[in-house]
Structure 1
Amino acid sequence: MEIGISTFVETTPDVKTGEVISHAQRIREVVKEIVLADQVGLDIFGVGEHHRADYAASSPAIVLAAAASQTNRIRLTSAVTVLSSADPVRVFQDFATLDAISNGRAEIMAGRGSFIESFPLFGYDLKDYDQLFDEKLELLLKIRESEKVTWKGGHRPAIDNLGVYPRPVQNPLPVWIGSGGNQDSVIRAGLLGLPLVLAIIGGSPLYFEPLVQLYKKAAAHAGHDLSKLPVASHSHGFIAESTEAAAEMFFPSTQQAMNKLGRERGWGKYDRSSFDAARGFEGALYVGDPKTVAEKIIHLRKHVGITRFMLHVPVGTMPHDDVMRAIELLGKEVAPIVREEISRWEGDSEVEL
């Protein structure tokens, strides 16, 4: 069971003071968060790509590279790379470079992206939303397979037997598919034999179990080895010494961020009752003391089949020291509980078989 962190490097106004920190400061903070995550034994750190004023990381590979030489074992991934509006050649080159700096710890999490600012910024039409992703994923995988590439599509100039460099340390460079729970996207990931990441940020996580089974069914149909296809979740949450403290610390910035997005997307108001319901045992928020959060992660593994859990923290802007403490608790207290219980449970399952 892999456990780690994901972040969107947000720079929303501080709930108490209204202060907005600079993009530069928040990026430097995230590098420190990645270094700490490595030191406390976490397995993975993901940085999401966005192109708007309240998010600082438009280039996850560069942020991750800044931490790569200061870390030893933690894997470094985008979360996600908005592949539809990116050039797959450049994406591959950036992450192959990150792979070199980190000596084989880079990953790409490819997705369509739920934010659309990158499309007009890079000159793409949203009416081509699905076609762009399919075509660019095809090219990315072709580059991954071969040093020399010949390819032709409808939304990018053709490539005629040209080399793409540098080549990564890992062969192949890991490419995951990020999905918000769309059936077509999980089927595509399965048919391609690519690892799957599910954004489980609302409702009951148990609702995602049929999607995991659909993914595995598609992968098996295509002849892929299911034992080599991990499934990850990206879920909002926060850890403190007590569950009450965690809730009080995490709610204000979460409410602010969710209501801001809600106004943009037409969602209902996010209030304390919504928050408290979601942090219940069957809810999608992983907020509490280490034991509470560990129990929810174990539940997710046993009943949904998740093999990598990524705690998304912070949501909105929180004090950096609080975020660092949550990362420390995840690595030093939550992860050992989860790993020990999963190891014991899976060992017992093998004995029963």
Structure 2
Amino acid sequence: MGRGLVPFLAMILVQFCFAGMNIVTKLALDSGMNPLIMVTYRQIFATLALAPLAYFLERKTLPRITAKIIFQMFLCSLLGATLNQCLYFLGLKHSTPTMACALNNLLPAVTFIMAVPFKMETVGIKKVTGQAKVLGTIICVAGAMLMSFYKGKLINIGHSSLHWKYAQRMSEQGSGNEQVSFIGPLFVMASVVAWSGWFIVQAKMNEKFTAPYTTTTVMCFMASFECALVAACWEHKFTAWSLAINVRLIGALYNGILGSAVTFLVMSWCIEKRGPLYVSAFNPLLLIIVAIFGWAMLDEKVYVGSVVGSSLIVGGLYTVLWGKEKEMEHEAEKKSTGEAVEMAPV
């Protein structure tokens, strides 16, 4: 029981770290901070936090780094860090933390769609597992479309006595208090596509180069320059880069250290102990935590479209994961059966 409890508690910790990142980042963006600048600082602080770990943990076992590996690392930084995080933070600026977290649950479905042409996933529509993956993907996409284009009636769940006055003040006095619109969800969905592309490139690179800490450190290091270049083209004022406002400094440090370094280390450990599907299954918990925090601290409103859309996305997510898990179990069973036949005496 103890062995199963530790990964469970570790993944709960990860979801709370991600939830805090969404809340703190939203406050920093509402204070007027440019999302692209926030992403740049996140990459810088993540690099500084991960570099010592990569050096001490992998310096003796580091595989040979070739030009092809460097190019794949560059693609990973472009997709997994620069495009993914820039688009996500832009989407967060124009939406709410709850909506952004809900749409992030599209990741397994989008990854499945993008992996099929690269023959990293099979549809297998004649099998129940393949039908579950396809059906789950359709449900996820339907939920995302509903959240993006349908608001519905306001659900009156009362007013929280914990409402954070500081958050209200940041939103009112900042220049980043744009109204929630359909462009926010579109940015978040585009970030999911970029993130899925990173999964595919990362999987290809892992076939020849397995050094997760070094790979992530180099990815964040490259992304620091990429994000800084994009942010500099977008924002020309030097004062916009200032971290003098406390919430901006806290947001940048939180994103780099807890939002990237700590969560990556914990998830890597959990994947090693329990597998990737176990880690993916905790994603909807983030939505619940952020929804509660958003209502309690940021006075976030809850609408029918958001609730129904979130429910569809979570239902579709678990349908895809169920299909994938059963498919993996079937493949493992076939492999073990084949090995048993091969080892049996003639």
Range into which the TM-score falls when normalised by the shorter chain: under 0.3
Higher strand share: 1
Higher helix share: 2
Length-normalised TM-score, structure 2: 0.26
Higher RCO (Cα < 8 Å, 6 or more apart): 2
Length-normalised TM-score, structure 1: 0.26
